[in-house]
Amino acid sequence: GAVVSQHPSWVICKSGTSVKIECRSLDFQATTMFWYRQFPKQSLMLMATSNEGSKATYEQGVEKDKFLINHASLTLSTLTVTSAHPEDSSFYICSADRGGNTIYFGEGSWLTVV
């Protein structure tokens, strides 16, 4: 079964609103989680590294004020897309580090902004 859970699996929101995506490690604690974005038929692009109890580290070109990341506990990281626009529509995937380079991915969350 899945060891990393994402919720929701898909979400539709209106342009200008904010939407939150959750990423949970189910049977292990993860001090580090990662958020990726994937456009259709393209590779995964790392957006940010989420660190429990501290600020996330964003990749170059990713707006930290638009993509808010909170890693409040060892099993939960959230990604909030603020003031979403149609160009933010994408497949968002999280992963969690179980230790020893064993990284598990969530099932992904489809975001459609209309």
Partner 1 sequence: QQQVKQSPQSLIVQKGGISIINCAYENTAFDYFPWYQQFPGKGPALLIAIRPDVSEKKEGRFTISFNKSAKQFSLHIMDSQPGDSATYFCAASKSNTDKLIFGTGTRLQVFP
Binding site for partner 1 (CB under 8 A): 4, 6, 32, 34, 41-46, 49, 91, 93, 95, 97, 101-108, 110
Distance CA 103, CA 73 (A): 18
CB of 17 or CB of 102, closer to partner 1? 102
Nearer to partner 1 by Cβ, of 74 and 103: the residue is 103
Report helix, strand or coil for 88.
helix
Nearer Cβ to partner 1, position 43 or 54?
A: 43
Sheet holding 4-7, edge to edge: 4-7, 19-25, 76-81, 67-73
CB of 73 to partner 1, least distance (A): 19
Nearest residue to 107 via CA among 36, 4, 34, 1: 4
Residue 79: CB minimum distance to partner 1, A: 14
Of 28 and 82, CB closest to partner 1: 28
Least distance (Å) between residue 89 CB and partner 1: 14
100, HSE (Cβ side, Cα atoms, 13 Å): 1
